[in-house]
Amino acid sequence: MLKTFAILICKIAKKLAQKLGRGSSFPGKVALKICPDILSRVSLPANIIAVTGSNGKTSTVEMIYHILVNSGFDVVCNKEGSNQIEGVTTLVLDNCDLRGNFKKDVLLIEVDERYAKYVFSYITPKYYLLNNLYRDQMTRNGHPEYVFEQIKLSIRPDSTLILNADDPLISSLAKLYDNTVVYYGAEENQYVTEKCQSIYNDGYYCPLCKHKMIYDYYQFAHVGKYECSHCDFEREQPDFAITRIDLSQGYMIINDEYRIDLAFRSLHNAYNCLAAFTLGRCMNISEEILVELLNSYVIKNGRIREFAYKDIGGTLLISKHENTVSYNQNLNYITSLKDKIQLVLIIDDISRKYFTSDTSWLWDISFELLNSKNIKKVIVSGKYINDVAVRFNNGDVDMNKVVLKDSVNEALDELDNDPQLRTFVMTCFSDQDKLLKEVEVL
């Protein structure tokens, strides 16, 4: 009875929340108040797929969704990113009948890395994909090592772990548990570096014995080929590997055979595609079909958006504030292009979840990349322009090409209407509306 009541209230609250424009976590919150273990009382499908990690969860989940739906599965997914226990509860109960029977074939969920332990104390994913651990919203989440400790608590013995072999924090989970593991990763390529390119290195010490790690090469941040100088921990050979990649041509080859055209030409996106491919193989979808589906995939999650301002066309690249890797990826991307570029950087509301004025993360981003010859102009806007300027100055960013403007409007008016220039905007989704309301979204 309690179960039925909780499901009913959740469904009613969901309808109400939709009318009131409230988020999707509220109905789940109410249901959990009524029946705290409601998730363990409902009948879920055999195929529960969960994705967690710092960067790329949403993109990966969307690609997996595209693959599964187009392979004939009836899939439910928290695409809006309500990825804590309340949001997952809303999703599950809304798709159950009043007896608690889940009505679809597959439950696909993106889970917050710190809160996964709560979600999986009630439900066990069949496939649990963990992609990476980077510094992300440190004031909220803490250090990746702390997040790693939280993720450990979310591992259930019956889950098959799908792990990024190149991230030592993630792949060390295989040494700590007896779960079945499937690895994915990228082999050495023309983009690897001998030294860690990031200002900090979260792979400096072995996650298992805390001795120094030795890297053959880095793909980016602390992701690469490593081994511990003390214990037997080392990068495992991936089951599914990017054996060739060409970002200027925009493709990658998986396991020497399967060519995927990349919708967005970044190494990080290549890892996300590979993760989705790996999951697809776990679900017994053939390589040929996966290639076809990934090649037809159009990025939809709004992380990249085209817009026009007056006669100037531009591209918004969502770059998460308080997340170095997210900014560095986009900086690497624009500086790798052959085009001449003008860039608008909007840093106004720093935090995505609560108010903070912490700007320390600005010092971790490789803004020196802006010295690249193809970057012709950088327009900085938002509350924190002076903090950014101090950061640029201390990092020897060429200030001759930097313009500071308080408002987004002024920043947009500063753009040159020059057909030779490609225009990019980098900002967080917490700040994106300040741009989007001033431009025509294409």
Nearer to Zn ion, 231 or 399 (CB): 231
Return the bridge partners of 441, or none: 307
CA nearest neighbour of 5 among 40, 32, 45: 32
Of 150-158, 207-215, 247-255, 273-281: span binding Zn ion (CB under 5 A)? 207-215
CA nearest neighbour of 270 among 318, 329, 336: 329
Distances (CA, A) of 96 to 3, 106, 187: 11, 12, 43
Among 8, 181, 208, 253, binds Zn ion (CB under 5 A): 208
**Judged by CB under 5 A, how many residues of this single chain contact Zn ion?**
7
Identity at 418, one-letter amino acid code: D
Nearer to Zn ion, 226 or 367 (CB): 226
Nearer to Zn ion, 233 or 424 (CB): 233
CB of 170 to Zn ion, least distance (A): 15
Structure tokens at 224: 């690469």
Q: Is 206 in the site for Zn ion (CB under 5 A)?
A: yes
Nearer to Zn ion, 143 or 212 (CB): 212
CB of 178 to Zn ion, least distance (A): 19
The 80-109 site mask, x for binding Zn ion (CB under 5 A), equals ------------------------------
Torsion of CA 222, 227, 233, 234, to 10 degrees: 80
Please, are residues 140 and 324 in contact by the beta-carbon 8 Å criterion?
no
The helix/strand/coil state of 53 is coil
CB of 207 to Zn ion, least distance (A): 8
- Give the pairing type, strands 223-228 and 240-246: unpaired
Nearer to Zn ion, 229 or 296 (CB): 229
CA 248-253-254 angle, 5° bins? 145
Q: Is 215 in the site for Zn ion (CB under 5 A)?
A: no
Among 12, 16, 209, 441, binds Zn ion (CB under 5 A): 209
Nearer to Zn ion, 230 or 340 (CB): 230
Nearer to Zn ion, 227 or 414 (CB): 227
The helix/strand/coil state of 412 is helix
Query: What distance in Å separates the CA atoms of residue 10 and residue 433, rounded to the nearest whole number?
Result: 30
Query: What distance in Å separates the CA atoms of residue 276 and residue 316, rounded to the nearest whole number?
Result: 24
Q: Is 199 in the site for Zn ion (CB under 5 A)?
A: no
Query: What distance in Å separates the CA atoms of residue 166 and residue 183, rounded to the nearest whole number?
Result: 9
CB of 151 to Zn ion, least distance (A): 19
CB of 204 to Zn ion, least distance (A): 12
CB of 172 to Zn ion, least distance (A): 9
Nearer to Zn ion, 230 or 376 (CB): 230
Structure tokens at 333: 């991307």
Query: What distance in Å separates the CA atoms of residue 68 and residue 45, rounded to the nearest whole number?
Result: 15
Query: What distance in Å separates the CA atoms of residue 320 and residue 151, rounded to the nearest whole number?
Result: 21
Q: Which of residues 218-277 bind Zn ion (CB under 5 A)?
A: 228, 230-231, 233
CB of 225 to Zn ion, least distance (A): 15
Of 49-57, 173-181, 202-210, 269-277: span binding Zn ion (CB under 5 A)? 202-210
Q: For the residues of 247-303, what is the DSSP string, one character each?
A: TTTTEEEETTTEEEE-SS--HHHHHHHHHHHHHHHHTT--HHHHHHHHHT----SSS
Nearer to Zn ion, 209 or 289 (CB): 209
Nearer to Zn ion, 2 or 209 (CB): 209
The 396-425 site mask, x for binding Zn ion (CB under 5 A), equals ------------------------------
Of 56-64, 149-157, 200-208, 414-422: span binding Zn ion (CB under 5 A)? 200-208
Q: Which residues bind Zn ion (CB under 5 A)?
A: 206, 208-209, 228, 230-231, 233
